Amino acid sequence: MFEPPVDPHSKSRLVAINLDESSIGRGNANIEQEREVAIFDILESNKFELEGRDDGPYVLNLAIVEDRLVFAVRQDAGDEEFTVVLSLTPLRRIMKDYFIVCESYYQAIRAAPPSRIQAIDMGRRGLHNEGSQVLTERLKGKINVDGDTARRLFTLICALHWKG
């Protein structure tokens, strides 16, 4: 599906993402890199808007609290916070499979032939697409995101949830 390029000057975007320190597990360099790349990619180009509002750009504070995903959103220049809390249950199976495939991928890139790496990567992308679609559906009516932003948010949520 084709999506037009995101306007970097649009109000409907994120300009900062903060991760709740108590939600982050440390230790695995691959996970740390996934978090950093996901945040960079989201901030580079994204579409993010609160349903029925046009008062961005926004700052996202993302956390996992009691096995729930918490999106705490505020205007870049404001203090009022809009919070969306989502159960992780609908994403749990996809994330579990995604973690397994990612581990296989990290092991394969060290020694497996290119055809094996490519097959694992295709499976990883398929799970990634499924996770981003579920996330988009779960956010529907609360937060609107484009496909690329949903994919990158799914990566970030996985990296936040995956404690190594």
pTM: 0.85
Band (pLDDT 50/70/90 cuts) for residue 2 is: very low
Residue 163: pLDDT above 60? no
Q: Which domain holds residue 142?
A: 14-161
Distance CA 18, CA 43 (A): 11
**Quick check: is 4 in a domain?**
no
Q: Is residue 60 part of a domain?
A: yes
The percent of residues in the chain predicted with pLDDT above 70, rounded, is 89
Q: What is the pLDDT of residue 21?
A: 79
Residue 78 is assigned to a structural domain of this protein: yes
Q: Cα 30 vs. chain centroid, distance in angstroms?
A: 16
State the amino acid at position 131 in one-letter form. G
In a domain, 100, yes or no: yes
Residue 142 near residue 51 (C-beta atoms within 8 A): yes
Residue 42 counted as domain residue: yes
pLDDT of residue 1: 43
Q: Are 15 and 139 in contact (CB under 8 A)?
A: no
Would 7 be classed as within a structural domain? no
Which residues make beta-bridge pairs with 86?
69
* 67, amino acid identity: D
Mean pLDDT, rounded, of the chain: 87
Residue 2 lies in a domain: no
Q: What pLDDT, on the 0 to 100 scale, is given for residue 158?
A: 85
Q: How many domains does the chain have?
A: 1
Strand 81-87 to 14-19 pairing: unpaired
Q: Give domain status of residue 134, yes or no.
A: yes
